[in-house]
Each structure stands twice: as C-alpha cells, then as structure tokens.
Amino acid sequence: MNKPLLTTDRGTFGDDAPPRSDVAVSASAISAPAAARTPAGRGLVPVLAFSGIVVAVMQTLLVPVIADLPRLLDTTPSNAAWVITATLLSSAAATPVLGRLGDLYGKRRLVLVSLGLMVLGSLISGFTSDLVPMIVGRAVQGFALGVIPLGIGIIRDELPRERQGSAMALISSSIGVGGAMAIPLAALIAQNLDWHWLFFGAAALGAVAMAAILAVVPESTQRTPGRFDAIGALGLTLGLVALLLPVSKGADWGWGATTTLGLFAATVVIFLLWALFELHVKDPLLNLRTASRRQVLLTNLAAITTGLAFYAVTLVLPQLLQLPESTGYGLGMSMIATGVCASSMGLAMMIASPLAARLSAARGPKVTLMTGLVLLAVAYLAGTALLGAVWQIVLVAILAGSGVGVAYSAMPALILGAVDQSESGAANGLNTLMRAIGTALSSAVVGVVLASTAQHVGSAEVPTLEGFRISFLIAAGAALLGLILAAFLPGGQDVRRSAGTVPPFDVNSARRYGDVAEEAADSLE
C-alpha cells in the first residue's frame, strides 16, 4: 500500500510521492508570464556554460605543473599534494551547501559568491610561492564548483521546458569540456611564462564570468521557505573530510595505517549521526527521503561510477604520451602536444552534449545515461589494446569524452525529474558531489595501481604498460557497474518529460499554486 502523502508549500513528501516538477512551482513563478522570462534565456545558456568552463579551468590549471610543485613550493612531494587535496575537500563540502543556499536565497546570488571566492582564491595563490598560503588559496578556489548545480537550477527556473534538456546537458558537461580544453592552454602558459600566471588567468576569467552573470542572468523568483541547516552543513563537511582525506592520502599514509582506518571508521559514525539528524530536522540541508527515491539514489550512485571511470583517462593518457620512448611504450611528446591530444576529449564532450539532449527528449534520460556508460566501457576496453600510437590514444580519448558527455548530460534531467523545484539546487549539488567522490576514488585507485606496478628507469620510477591496462580495466568495470545501476532506473513518459518535452497541463494541481488560466494559456502555446 502506498504511504499517505502530505502536500505543503514545500512539496509532496513520502517515499512513493511523484515529483511535482510538472506543475509544482511557487506562486510567484507560476504567475510570472513566460514571455517575461524568455528574453533572459537568449544569452543565459552560453553565459552559464562559460562559467562552468571557467570552473573547470580552475580545477585543471595545475595539471601541467603537478610534478614540479615540490620544487616550485620548496617542499616535499607529500606536502605538495595538499595543494590538490585542499581543492578536492573544499569543493566536495561546499557544493551541496551552496546548492541549498541557492534554493533559499537566490541561485544567481550564490553563483556570484562562488565565482567571487574563486577569484579571491586565485589571487591568494597567484601572489605566493609558500606552501600554506597556496593551500589556503586552493581551498578557497574549490568553492567555485557550486556554479554547476546552481546553473542547472537557474536553467530550470528560467527557461521554457522544451529548452531545458539541451541547456542542462551543456551546463552539466561543461566541467569536462573546460577541463580537457584547459590543459593545453595551461601547458602553454607554464612553459612560456611564470607559473603564477595560471592563477592570474583564472582570476581574470572568473571576473569576466561574474560580469557576464550580472549582465545576462536574472535572479530567480523561486525561493524555498525555511532556514539554513547549519548543523547539517557542519556534519556533512566533517563526514566528507573524514572520507576524502584517507581516500586521497591513503597511498602516502598506508592503507592499513591507524590514521587511515580511524578516519574511515569516523566517516561511518559521522554520516550515521548526520543522517539521523537530517531525518528529524524541520528544514534539512538535504532531504534524505527525496535522495532515497530510486531515481535519485541510482542516478547518484551512477554518478560515482561515471566520475571514477572518467578520471582514469585523464590520469593515464598524459603520462603515456609524455613518457620517454626508451621505456618501449612511452611516446615522448611535449607538454603542449600532450595537452592538444587531451583536448580532443573536451571537444568530443562538447559535440556529444547536444546530441545527448536530443536522445533524452526522444527516448528518455535513462537511455541516454546507459548509452554514455556503454561508450565509456567500450573506450576503456579498446584502450587496453590501443596504446601504441598517438592516433590510437586520441581515439580512446574521443570515445571516453563522448561517453562522459552523454552520461553527464542525462543526470540533471534524471535528478530534476524526481525532486521538487524548491530542492533543485541542493539535489544537483549532491549529484555534483557524487561525481567528485568518484573522481577522488579514481585518483586513489589508479594511483595505487600505477605505483604498485611501477618500474625503475634510471633513478626514477615510472608506470608500466601493465599498470595502464589494469587502470583501464578498472575504469571499464566502473562503467559497467554504472550501466547495471542505470538499468534499474524508472523509464517512461514522466522521465522523458524532464528531458525537455512539454507535459500535459494538470488543472487540478496548478489551481493550488497560482493563476490557472495564465498557466494553461502558456502550456497550450
């Protein structure tokens, strides 16, 4: 028997409750004429996509100089690794928090806050060569990742439903597009200018994105009533730090070390207590009842496996391309040439995203997600054999980029098709967090594999071809696991609507929230 439902101004609650996304928006959003919002959409999508690309640039700008960080910062490799870890931790903790704040106080406002913190963090890092200020700057930069879920929420609030699918697909995949395309540019700067210009360039891009947001993106009238759950935010932050610290540093500390095992145990305790609190607080940071719905839960689990599979190619291919030919399998390419090859992955994502939106509109986002995961699995399985020439590696990068672009493009539609509009920012923030956890797991797993299979070449240890192949097999396994999870997602008409198909107008539901005649006229048009 279905559980009774409770309908309030915040939405419909209950494990079996269908989403209200078709008609359940606030009175202000319903009463606002569609024509008043349509002009904002003309430049809105490119600006939000550009903002997502700027965030990706921030995340990947140190890729060309990772190996040189100990020398540049005059520290040990273990300490230098905190420059990368700090961004991972802050972005993971901040993303769902910023999404919730956007639901409460305005998504555009929080996009500007996120980009502003990125600019501040970039300037802090740009003006220092000391370890501690660099770590602080990188941690502040990490808050920028909230731009992605907030941008997706703005799309849902501002654009007509028939345009939402393709727009969300572009925003969702912009993080991968920007990351892949930023690598060659960052390599060019690192080779020809002082490396601090990487941060100054990121700050300039962030400032441009903020100006564009102010000029083009309107502040949504959609608001979620309630208060910000500060205790829930603190609990989530502590839990994520306890989880991601041993994941990212376990190889250095030792996987059986007391610190590593203690933090994993603390993770379990913290998240159990946090979940109990969230289930009983009036205005939770994350609605766990909504997050436990099959469509949301399985999509988020698939996001972890997709993130794990995606990051493997970004870790393996640059090393394979740059290793000296004397190893017998390295291709001896320069940093810039390697970046150009890696950019093919970003171009593939850019091309795949609009195609994925069309597939979602026609067949539903479930089919799109499964298609992307199949492409990912094929890319990695083929990659175990196609590692002997540049064209082969580029082909693997294109296949993997297409798979990630298609898979990521489907996730916002699946999430937003199962949650109330008032929870769109927090729900997409959680999905972005799951992707970040997947990339963190990928970094840890691939790092262990490559380290355990490394060989000595002269005085240095370098990864082996066997290690690269094992990493690809693990990534293929992650993609196939995601495919199995996606197979259990609900399909059908309700899910396809979230990809951009105009739904039938439900007079009885809309009458509770606003002007029925006006909404009916808009829907029939």
Q: Are residues 97 and 171 in the same domain?
A: yes
Taking residues 491-501, report their average pLDDT.
47
Query: Number of structural domains, the chain?
Result: 2
The H or E element spanning position 8 is strand 6-8
Comparing 267 with 454, the larger pLDDT belongs to: 267
Separation CA 421–CA 37 (nearest Å): 17
Residue percentage of the chain with pLDDT more than 70: 83
Identify whether 266 is part of a domain. Answer: yes
pLDDT confidence of residue 501: 38
Q: Are residues 111 and 220 in the same domain?
A: yes
Identify whether 3 is part of a domain. Answer: no
Specify the pTM.
Answer: 0.74
Separation CA 504–CA 508 (nearest Å): 12
Residue percentage of the chain with pLDDT more than 90: 24
- 3-class DSSP state for residue 7? strand
- Is residue 196 a contact partner of residue 376, using CB atoms and an 8 Å limit? no
Taking residues 329-344, report their average pLDDT.
79
pLDDT confidence of residue 457: 67
Separation CA 290–CA 52 (nearest Å): 26
Given 267, 282, 297, which residue is the final one in a domain? 282
Beta carbons within 8 Å of 389's beta carbon, 6+ residues apart: 331
Comparing 164 with 458, the larger pLDDT belongs to: 164
Strands 455-457 and 11-13: unpaired
Domain that holds residue 240: 229-282
Q: Are residues 40 and 93 in the same domain?
A: yes
Q: Are residues 110 and 152 in the same domain?
A: yes
Indicate which CATH number applies to the domain containing 117. 1.20.1250.20
Query: 128: which DSSP letter?
Result: -
Identify whether 5 is part of a domain. Answer: no
Nearest to residue 304, comparing CAs of 446, 475, 73, 425? 475
Comparing 46 with 498, the larger pLDDT belongs to: 46
Q: Are residues 350 and 436 in the same domain?
A: yes
Q: Are residues 64 and 190 in the same domain?
A: yes
pLDDT confidence of residue 507: 35
Q: How confident is the model at residue 247 (pLDDT cuts 50, 70, 90)?
A: confident
Q: Are residues 300 and 275 in the same domain?
A: no
Identify whether 12 is part of a domain. Answer: no
Note the pLDDT tens digit of each residue in 273-313.
Answer: 999 998 888 888 888 888 888 888 999 999 999 988 888 88
pLDDT confidence of residue 510: 36
One DSSP character per residue, 449-466 reads HHHHT-EEETTEEE--HH
pLDDT at 420 over 80: no
Note the pLDDT tens digit of each residue in 386-419.
Answer: 888 888 888 998 999 899 889 988 888 888 777 7
Q: Mean pLDDT over all residues of the chain? A: 79
439 CB burial (10 A radius; 0-12, 13-18, 19+): buried
Q: Are residues 262 and 135 in the same domain?
A: no
Measured in whole angstroms, how far is the alpha carbon of residue 59 from the centre of its chain? 11
The H or E element spanning position 12 is strand 11-13
